[in-house]
A and B are shown apart, each in its own frame.
Chain A
Amino acid sequence: METSELNGEKIRKFLSEGKRFDGRKPDEFREISIETGVSKNAEGSAKVRIGKTEVIVGVKMDVGTPYPDSKDRGNLMVNAELLPLSSPHFESGPPKFPSIELARIIDRGIRESKFIQLEKLCIKEGEKVWTVMIDIYSLNDDGNLLDAAGIGAIAALKTARIPEYDEESGRAKFGELSNERIPLMKELPISLTAHKIGEHFIMDPNAEEEAISEARVTVSSSDGIIHAMQKGEAKEMEIEQFYSVLDLIEKTEREIFKKLEKHLK
């Protein structure tokens, strides 16, 4: 997305008065909606909309071998694709940096918070464990795919069921889901991103705002404890500004958490 210089100037001018084009407050999210069970062959799936931004996230599982440094734990893989159908700015081809970064940010938020109890996904130590694969696809990019992807991953995991396991062959019986859920922690690891435009910080930018964002900070936290964080883009930040970003995200997280709890009951 490219924002014309004229509009960029206007956005900055509006923000200095605490206003945005669509009438939101700087820290206000667009309407969030979550739909689960949107792809029936997946172990778990979810579509998340934040305003006009939309992602679809699916969870698949398979029996695999554990990594040598975690012999008694299941594996987690997160992959993201920014589909050409979702924006005129995404192209086909091998994964480029934005999709790699998106996947890695979501991966770390889930992994570091220990949201998935991977130790319970061990079938036989050193030989067979469950691998949880989370695939994120953008359906429409109107800004803030990062936060939408994080919510989608949680929703898909929450609804996923583990496939039946065939003791004899030692393989998963695909297409036959057990009634067992993926063992998850109660606290949701929510990852939220604040964007710096001029001297202002906003949450949940639309595409036009995101395009003129000079820096962003994504914080993944559960229950008020931070588990992963990444600053993106090249603009530097004063230490005091950084502190206020942390406070802004902490405050927003509490609001989003309440919304998610309602949706994911």
Chain B
Amino acid sequence: MAAKKSESNFERPDGRKINETRPITAKVGVIPNADGSAIFAFGETIAIASVYGPRKMHPQHAQNPKKGVLRCEYNMLSFSVNERIKPGSNRRSTEISKITEWALEPVLMLEKYPNAVVDVFINIIQANASTRCAGINAAAMALAQAGIPMKNLVSSVSIGKLDKQLVVDVNKHEEDWEEGEGATDIPITMTPDGKMTHIQLDGKISTEQLKEAVKLAREATKKIYEIQKDALKKSVEEHK
């Protein structure tokens, strides 16, 4: 409730409304070699995802005879941030890769592909916060385009708490918020019918306000879902 009180006089650094995402770009079919691919951007945060498979799982001991395996790899290009990051995986990217698998898996019907693997490669080509959310959104679209049977899409957004104010889709400037209670970052992924497949949190927040944050994410992910769906429809029409 505290969030609502200050809503009227809170100004975001880039002038957005508290429930407004940055301009979203979403396009499907950006990597010709891939079985499915997509680009998704929240403003200056740009993620591309490509899907290969279902294909035979190597190494063989990693095969699952009951269902196909989803394998995600999240990677930030070394020049995607201000200070160059060492190429290759690190503890952060290893965790985000797994989180991404967990966020996507509930909507995939992988039982149709025993012993197979579906590989999803996510690359962040330009970063301005909320990269894992952009990556998940791109991956969901790429999986749909690859024709992997899915019960639904998933849509991801970061909710931020800047001092005491909740906002939707944090950028880097907001992520580094220092005034008052500082910044709390809450990436959330949901299905269009409101099931949560992923949530993380860093910062400082009460249980009550966290519930408010989930509601904001519910509204924002509905809008993102429509954009993802439109992009997918467009790609089908183009190929007619």
Kindly report which residue of chain B lies nearest to residue A108, judged by CB atoms.
Answer: B202
Beta-carbon contact of A227 and B203 below 8 Å: yes
Map CB proximity to A onto B195-215 as digits: 1 under 8 Å, 0 otherwise.
111111111111100110010
Q: Does B218 contact A (CB under 8 A)?
A: yes
Beta-carbon contact of A224 and B206 below 8 Å: yes
Given contacts A101-B98, A235-B106, contact A226 B195 (CB under 8 A): no
Beta-carbon contact of B102 and A228 below 8 Å: no
Beta-carbon contact of B200 and A226 below 8 Å: no
Q: Does B194 contact A (CB under 8 A)?
A: yes
Distance of A233 Cα from B98 Cα, bound (Å):
9
Beta-carbon contact of B203 and A231 below 8 Å: no
A100's contact among B91, B214, B218, by CB below 8 Å, is which?
B91
Stretch at the interface among A14-22, A128-136, A167-175, A239-247: A239-247
Interface size class of A (residues with CB under 8 A): 20 to 34
B187: min CB distance to chain A, Å: 10
Beta-carbon contact of A231 and B204 below 8 Å: no
Q: Does B235 contact A (CB under 8 A)?
A: no
Distance of A239 Cα from B217 Cα, bound (Å):
11
Q: Does B174 contact A (CB under 8 A)?
A: no
Given contacts A100-B95, A230-B201, contact A246 B207 (CB under 8 A): yes
- Interface size on B (CB < 8 Å)? 30
Beta-carbon contact of A97 and B201 below 8 Å: no
Given contacts A97-B98, A235-B106, contact A226 B210 (CB under 8 A): yes
Beta-carbon contact of A250 and B196 below 8 Å: no
Beta-carbon contact of B102 and A242 below 8 Å: no
Distance of A25 Cα from B101 Cα, bound (Å):
32
Beta-carbon contact of A234 and B197 below 8 Å: yes
Question: In A208-265, which residues have CB < 8 Å from any B CB?
Answer: 217, 224-239, 242-243, 246-247, 250
Question: In B163-216, which residues have CB < 8 Å from any A CB?
Answer: 186, 191, 194-207, 210-211, 214
Beta-carbon contact of B195 and A237 below 8 Å: yes
Distance of A247 Cα from B210 Cα, bound (Å):
12
Beta-carbon contact of A243 and B211 below 8 Å: yes
Question: In B95-145, which residues have CB < 8 Å from any A CB?
Answer: 95, 98-99, 101-102, 105-106
Distance of A226 Cα from B203 Cα, bound (Å):
8
Beta-carbon contact of A242 and B105 below 8 Å: no
Distance of A227 Cα from B101 Cα, bound (Å):
24
Q: Which residues of B contact A113 (CB under 8 A)?
A: 204
B107: min CB distance to chain A, Å: 8
Please list the 8 inter-chain residue pairs (A to B) with the smallest Cβ-Cβ separation, ordered nearest first: A229-B201, A234-B105, A236-B195, A236-B106, A234-B102, A236-B197, A231-B199, A237-B196
Chain A residues engaging chain B, CB cutoff 8 angstroms? 97, 100-101, 103-104, 108, 112-113, 217, 224-239, 242-243, 246-247, 250
Chain B residues engaging chain A, CB cutoff 8 angstroms? 91-92, 94-95, 98-99, 101-102, 105-106, 186, 191, 194-207, 210-211, 214, 218
27 CB < 8 A contacts A-B: A97-B95, A103-B91, A104-B92, A112-B204, A225-B205, A227-B201, A227-B202, A227-B203, A229-B186, A229-B199, A230-B199, A231-B200, A232-B102, A234-B102, A234-B105, A234-B197, A236-B195, A236-B196, A237-B196, A237-B197, A238-B194, A239-B196, A239-B214, A246-B207, A246-B210, A246-B211, A250-B207
